[in-house]
């Protein structure tokens, strides 16, 4: 089995005006690299989950807006920014819940404004070159942040631990290491004997297709289970801690992650198992007061009724409830693992202090 760590999840191929990604919809059966050239191809790749995971989406957005503006013919700052915002809004509409998508696009816009001093000077070639440099910084920072999240998360793991994770917050969701899996990879590097249990994550099976695939290919002791088996596993005593990623953390510590995460957190609370959310600060949205304000994407009913089956497995015409995410209440979260350390409740205070520290 090939090691997924040998592949780049998202890469800029500037000489051919493309973003190269692993098509994650084909995993684990086939590892295929595809190149995205147009705005529609980038939009589709994000929406269709060919590239997925908040950090990887953010990196894709940074590269994407750069490529879409690379051949702009705008002859003024105002015209350039009008075109920029149109293309940015288009990319941003692909996945509304993943805050890193809008975060990366806003960061790229802010950097252009700063570079141009809000329109006082405009050199189109220089601006585009600076956009490329900023998009590459976003990727480099993602790798660094994930490594630091892994180091902080590693302090919560002991030799022999059984760890549970949900969905995929691994290397496939970032540019390297992942968020929730970063402590697992670092523990494995250090020779610690850990066992990782992966929820399959219905209906898109990211745990089965992606997390189990990448951890197993990296040589980590990996066990796959159906989502509704996690309570039985936790009750058995096999799980010492739970690590999950997230797509958005509200200012009060509520965290939106793949559907089913809140069930895992609720059961973990019942069995006194620590439940950790691994989140780069770019995923913490201080402008969203609580999880109630997080927009939850509703996806196509066919993902539940037909996907993965040779024949339809539900009656024609039946209604389908298919939210992509749920929100885990902050009271169920033991700690939020960031690149700056592990945040503890009360989260509104901890998050405010974190952002004050980052700005200082």
d(CA 130, CA 108): 10
Residue 121 has pLDDT above 90, yes or no: no
Residue 107 has pLDDT above 60, yes or no: yes
Q: Which fold has domain 151-359?
A: Rossmann fold (3.40.50)
Mean pLDDT over 220-228 rounds to 98
Up-side HSE of residue 129: CA atoms within 13 Å toward CB?
5
Mean pLDDT over 37-51 rounds to 96
310's tokens: 């040779």
Supply the pLDDT for residue 89. Answer: 97
| Residue 167 near residue 245, CB atoms below 8 Å | yes
Residue 170 has pLDDT above 90, yes or no: yes
- Beta pairing partners, 162: 195
Please give the mean pLDDT across all residues of the chain. 95
Tokens 């997925």 locate to 52
Active-site position among 247, 254, 285, 326: 247
Supply the pLDDT for residue 255. Answer: 98
**Segment among 4-8, 58-62, 283-287 with least mean pLDDT:** 4-8
Tokens 């990887």 locate to 56
Supply the pLDDT for residue 133. Answer: 98
Supply the pLDDT for residue 118. Answer: 62
The end-to-end CA distance of the chain, in Å, is: 46
Q: Which residues contact 38 (CB under 8 A, 6 or more apart)?
A: none
Supply the pLDDT for residue 12. Answer: 98
CATH class of residue range 4-146: mainly alpha
Supply the pLDDT for residue 161. Answer: 98
d(CA 146, CA 154): 12
CB atoms within 10 A of CB 243: 27
Supply the pLDDT for residue 158. Answer: 98
Supply the pLDDT for residue 43. Answer: 98
| Catalytic-residue membership of 247 | yes
Residue 2 has pLDDT above 70, yes or no: no
Strand order in the sheet with 10-13: 10-13, 18-22, 33-36
Instruction: Categorize the per-residue pLDDT at 119 as very low, low, confident or very high, splitting at 50, 70 and 90.
Output: low
Of the candidates 49, 34, 32, 14, which has an alpha carbon nearest to the alpha carbon of residue 203? 49
d(CA 84, CA 169): 30
Q: How far is CA 60 from the centre of its chain?
A: 11
pLDDT tens column, 246-263:
989 999 999 999 999 999
Give percent above pLDDT 90 in the chain. 89
Residue 117 has pLDDT above 90, yes or no: no
| HEC secondary structure over the chain | CCCHHHCCCEEEEHHHCEEEEECHHHCCCCCCEEEECCHHHHHHHHHCCCCCCHHHHHHHHHHHHHHHHHCCCCCCHHHHHHHHHHHHHHHHCCCCCCHHHHHHHHHHHHHHHHHCCCCCCCCHHHHHHHHHHHHHHHHHHHHHHHHHHHHHHHCCCCCCCEEEECCCCCHHHCCCCCCCCHHHHHHHHCCCCCEEEEECCCCCCHHHHHHHHHHHHCCCEEEEECHHHHHHHHHHCCCCEEEECCCEEECCCCEEEECCHHHHHHHHHHCCCCEEEECCHHHEECCCCCHHHCCCCECCCHHHHCCCCCCCCCCCCCCCCCECEEEECHHHCCEEEECCEEECCCHHHHHHHHHHHHHC
Tokens 């957190």 locate to 265
Phi, then psi, of 266 in degrees rounded to 5:
-65, -45
Q: Which residues contact 168 (CB under 8 A, 6 or more apart)?
A: 52, 53, 178, 201, 206, 207, 210, 211, 214, 245
pTM reported for the whole predicted model: 0.87
Query: CB burial class (10 A; 0-12, 13-18, 19+) of residue 77?
Result: buried
For CATH 3.40.50.10470, the residue range(s) in the chain are 151-359
For CATH 1.20.120.420, the residue range(s) in the chain are 4-146
Supply the pLDDT for residue 278. Answer: 97
Instruction: Categorize the per-residue pLDDT at 3 as very low, low, confident or very high, splitting at 50, 70 and 90.
Output: confident
**Segment among 118-127, 206-215, 220-229 with least mean pLDDT:** 118-127
């Amino acid at each position: 089995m090939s090691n997924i760590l040998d592949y780049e999840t998202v890469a800029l191929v500037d000489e051919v005006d493309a973003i190269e990604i692993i098509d994650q919809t084909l995993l684990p059966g086939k590892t295929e690299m595809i190149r995205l050239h147009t705005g529609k191809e980038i939009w589709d790749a994000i929406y269709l989950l060919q590239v997925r995971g908040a950090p990887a989406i953010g990196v894709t957005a940074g590269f994407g807006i750069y490529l879409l503006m690379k051949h702009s013919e705008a002859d003024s700052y105002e015209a350039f920014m009008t075109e920029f915002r149109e293309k940015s809004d288009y990319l941003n509409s692909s996945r509304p819940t993943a805050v890193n998508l809008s975060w990366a696009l806003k960061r790229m816009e802010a950097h252009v404004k700063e570079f141009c001093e809000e329109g006082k000077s405009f050199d189109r070639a220089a601006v585009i070159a600076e956009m490329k440099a900023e998009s590459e910084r976003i990727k480099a920072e993602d790798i660094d942040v994930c490594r630091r999240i892994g180091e902080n998360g590693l302090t919560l793991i002991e030799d022999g631990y059984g760890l549970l994770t949900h969905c995929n917050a691994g290397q496939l969701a970032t540019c390297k290491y992942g968020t929730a899996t970063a402590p697992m990879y670092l523990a494995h590097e250090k020779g610690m004997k850990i066992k990782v249990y992966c929820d399959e994550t219905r209906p898109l099976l990211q745990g089965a297709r992606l997390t189990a695939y990448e951890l197993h290919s990296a040589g980590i002791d990996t066990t796959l289970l159906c989502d509704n088996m996690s309570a039985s596993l936790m009750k058995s005593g096999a799980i010492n801690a739970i690590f999950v990623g997230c797509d958005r953390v509200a200012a009060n510590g509520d965290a939106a992650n793949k559907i089913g995460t809140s069930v895992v957190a609720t059961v973990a609370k019942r069995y006194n198992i620590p439940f950790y959310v691994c989140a780069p600060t770019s995923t913490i949205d201080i402008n969203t007061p609580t999880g109630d304000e997080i927009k939850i994407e509703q996806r196509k009913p066919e993902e539940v009724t037909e996907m993965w089956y040779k024949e339809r497995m539900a009656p024609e015409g039946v209604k389908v409830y298919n939210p992509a995410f749920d929100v885990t209440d902050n009271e169920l979260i033991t700690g939020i693992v960031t690149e700056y350390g592990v945040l503890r409740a009360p989260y509104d205070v901890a998050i405010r202090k974190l952002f004050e520290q980052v700005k200082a």
